[in-house]
Structures are given as C-alpha cells and as structure tokens.
Amino acid sequence: MAKKLVPRSQLQGMTKKERQRFVREVRRAEMLRLAQQRRQRRILGWSVAGLAVVAVGSIVTIGTVNAVASASTPTATPAVVVGPANMLSDGLLFTGDGTTATATRTAALTDGEDPVATVSDAATTGILDVQVYLDPTNADAATLWSTIGASLEAEVAAGSISLELHPVVAQSGDVNAISAVAAFSCVADTAPDEGLAAWDALLTQTATAGLTSLEVATTVQGALSDATVDAVTSCMSAGTFTTWADDASTRAATTVAAAGADLTQGVVVTAAGSVYTGAVDDATAFQTFLSDAYTAAVGE
C-alpha cells in the first residue's frame, strides 16, 4: 500500500511526538478505509458470481428440459415402401383419351398396407374394365397376348376400355418370372407410360425365344426411351421389387380364385368381374367375351 502523505500545514505547531502520533492516526484511518473497500469488492464479486451460476444453471436446466421434451415428443416414422409407385392395386392401370393410353398415377404400397383394388364402374361410365394377369415367362400367356394384345391396346387408347396389367409369378419362387415381374414393376415405378411397351417386349421375347432372367434386363431396356432407361436399369440392377413380385403374385392368386380362376396356369383375364374361359389363341372368342361382359355390366 502506498503511504498517504500528510500536508505539512497540518503539522505546524506540533512537537515531534505529536506529529508522529498524528501521522499514525491518519495512516490507521486510511488503512481502515482501504480494508472496507476491499470487503465491498469481495461482496460484489460474490454477488456477480452467484448470478452467473444461477444463469448458467438456468441455461442448463432449460437445455435439459428442452432435450427431454424433444426426446419425449413422438416423431412420425416414414412408412416403408414395399411396392412400385403407380401399382397401388398391384396392377398398372391404363386409360385412354381417344388417341393415347396413359398410365394412372398412384402412391406406392407401403409395409403393412393392403392393395387398393380398382373398382369397376362400367355400369355408370360405359367403359369396360379389363384386368390381365399374365406370367411374362409363360408360353400360354405369350400366345394369349399375341392374340389379344394389339386390339386391347387400341381399345384402351380409344377410351372404350380401361386396361389393368398384373404381371404375376405363376409358380412361387420361379426366378425367371420373379425377375420379369420385378423388371416390369421398375418400369411402372419410374416410367409408367412406357409400361405397355415393356409388357409387349417381355411377352414377345417369351413367344419367340423364351424368357429367362438373363434376358429380362436387355429386353426391357430395348423397349424404353433414352430418357427413362437409366432409371429403370438402376432399379432392376438393385433388385428393388423382387420381394414385392412374389408377394403380389400370392395376393393375385387369392383375388382371381375368388372369381373362380386359377393363376397357376399363368393366364387369367377378367372383365367387370367375368372370367375369360376361351382358348388363348381364339381372338373371336375373346371379343365375344368382352361384348358379353360389357352387356352384363351395363345392362344392355
């Protein structure tokens, strides 16, 4: 501590002892003053530190409460997609505007969700709904499609019918069929309007030389446009819908069985609830079937 100097004017007239005593008293008073200042500073420091601790504690408490609240707040778990987009019914539906057939867009089937069947409205719209369940690797299926395919595509483009394509695995576990069905599903998922072209290509390959899993990818690729082929190829390479292909076929077997048909043969066609029972190579019989189904549905 620096010494406090006493002005000489205050010491005038004092003896030596009086001056010494006076200076000691002045210094003692100064020491008391400085000690009091130090105590005040310590008290102020403790107060500030206490406020800081309270503030930090509040921040920690608020942060903890927020963390607990965030942890306890339920978050929605995204549904797991198990099927291709545009095949919510397990089939790819086409309708026409008079000149062009267009695939109907739908959401994809998610885990635990049941397919949403397409409801027949032929009685009110006058448009016959046709469902085709074919195993793309099945010879009879290829024969039937070569017999009726072109006429069905023309009628759907004209808007006379709606056409729903269900690729199926006739024999559970058939690797070739699973590959073909999964490949078609990739087309439906990423390039739905090219579904008819891919369908035609698969069944044409089966009719001409047979179709194995080795030919599926190149067959489908050859039917696609440059704009869509890469996305579909990526989907096929990843095996995205192989599990769905088998599962959807199992569901389809139950659906057609309820209508009195057997999917294990790889060929089932229904129209407004009626099942085609004619020969796979009889175009006339098939046209009669469509006419009769229309009459029964519309009531004419």
Q: How many CB atoms lie within 10 A of CB 26?
A: 14
User: How do the domains of the chain map onto residue ranges?
Assistant: 8-72, 92-298
Round to whole Å and give the CA distance between 256 and 233.
31
**More confident: 128 or 22:** 128
Q: Which fold has domain 92-298?
A: Glutaredoxin (3.40.30)
Round to whole Å and give the CA distance between 49 and 192.
69
For the chain, give the mean pLDDT.
85
pLDDT at 25: 65
Which of 171, 176, 199, 170 has the alpha carbon at shortest distance from 266?
170
pLDDT tens digits for range 215-237: 999 999 999 999 999 999 999 99
pLDDT at 186: 98
With pLDDT > 90 as the criterion, what percentage of the chain qualifies?
Answer: 69
pLDDT at 253: 94
Lowest pLDDT segment from 8-17, 114-123, 285-294: 8-17
3-class secondary structure for 202-239?
HHHHHHHCCCCHHHHHHHHHCCCCCCCHHHHHHHHHCC
With pLDDT > 70 as the criterion, what percentage of the chain qualifies?
Answer: 74
pLDDT at 219: 98
Whether the per-residue pLDDT at 134 is higher than 60: the answer is: yes
The residue-averaged pLDDT of 56-65 equals 45
The residue-averaged pLDDT of 155-182 equals 97
**pTM reported for the whole predicted model:** 0.75
The residue-averaged pLDDT of 137-162 equals 98
Q: Strands 101-103 and 92-96, how do they pair?
A: antiparallel
Whether the per-residue pLDDT at 29 is higher than 90: the answer is: no
73 contacts 113 by C-beta, under 8 angstroms: no
pLDDT at 30: 61
